[in-house]
Structure 1
């Protein structure tokens, strides 16, 4: 490959990965063209991009970025996957694809998350984390929980006690006013 072509490929890769802070490296060797196309289509439906890269060009293209640790010890064939709404959704999508029998040749090699390198096993671990939507729903439940609990107590048996205390207080106020 000529220097001009390599430079163009590196610039294209830099442009595609601009703003990306997490990606996973997978091995897609052993997949035929039809299986690769089906995998790409399935990943695209989840807003995940998959691109086969030359290790050396990828290493040079990501030099000085948070993605560089993913390519430091990489060898052999590699494809990079990035995108989706968050890193957990990306990991879940890839973990699901790796387990399917029609994509038997796909295996995780590693990745990077916020500048920290990830091992192949980390893909499985990250895929078990709650997604952004699940985290938001847990947080909102925790924020609303105490108020809902207080409301339920005031409307339940505690509410009857509260009403009785109010009546006693009103009776005392009327007695003091008279």
Structure 2
């Protein structure tokens, strides 16, 4: 890889760090190509990305981002999971690491807040942004449904009373 290719790679990775709401740093030892492709597919489905990185290039790419504090995490066979959803990358990485001992979580960060392994696992247990939106929408719609039922009930009762009187007189 020549200098221009390295510079382009650093720039691309820097943009990835800049756009990410969360970064999860992992070590992958012995993952097969099929296993990595499976992990990438799960990441894509969740709206996240998974990338094997060279430590030196990753450290250069971290400069100027809010993830500079992760510099020390880049040792050994490193890969990163990133997403704009603060939970998605952590959730998929932790689930995959639980199923496959070849992937271990090293740590991560949300913005400038560095997370240890336990914090990443705790983050993975939280509902995703889409799940939170669905719950919020459900909470908003439930009162509206109840209000509509209450508003319609008196009108229905009045109509039944009028109907009953009209049938008596008839």
Report TM bin, short chain: 0.7 to 0.9
Alpha-carbon distance, 1:80 to partner = 0.7
Moved more, 21-30 or 43-52: 43-52
Q: Does the Cα contact within 8 Å between 1:21 and 1:115 map onto a contact in 2?
A: no
Cα 1:132–1:9 shift into 2, 3 Å: closer
- The structure that has the greater radius of gyration is 1
CA RMSD of aligned residues (A): 3.2
**One of 121, 131, 152 as aligned partner of 2:128:** 131
User: Which runs of at least 4 in structure 1 moved beyond 6 Å after TM superposition?
Assistant: 1-5
| TM-score calculated relative to the size of structure 1 | 0.70
**One of 142, 145, 161 as aligned partner of 1:145:** 142
Alpha-carbon distance, 1:124 to partner = 1.8
1:171 maps to what in 2?
none
Describe the SS at the equivalent of 2:87. Answer: helix
Gaps of 5+ in 2: 163-170
Deviations 1:107-133, CA, capped at 9 Å, x for gaps:
111111122111112222122212222
Deviations 1:108-164, CA, capped at 9 Å, x for gaps:
1111112211111222212221222221122222223333223333445xx38x84x
Cα 1:79–1:148 shift into 2, 3 Å: same
Describe the SS at the equivalent of 1:110. Answer: strand
| TM-score calculated relative to the size of structure 2 | 0.72
State how far apart, in whole Å, the 1-side matches of 2:53 and 2:88 are: 22
Cα 1:43–1:146 shift into 2, 3 Å: closer
Describe the SS at the equivalent of 1:23. Answer: strand
State how far apart, in whole Å, the 2-side matches of 1:2 and 1:99 are: 38
Q: Does the Cα contact within 8 Å between 2:62 and 2:68 map onto a contact in 1?
A: yes
The number of residue pairs the alignment matches comes to 160
State how far apart, in whole Å, the 2-side matches of 1:41 and 1:17 are: 20
Alpha-carbon distance, 1:30 to partner = 2.9
2:96 maps to what in 1?
97
Gaps of 5+ in 1: 168-178
Alpha-carbon distance, 1:7 to partner = 4.0
1:170 maps to what in 2?
none
1:175 maps to what in 2?
none
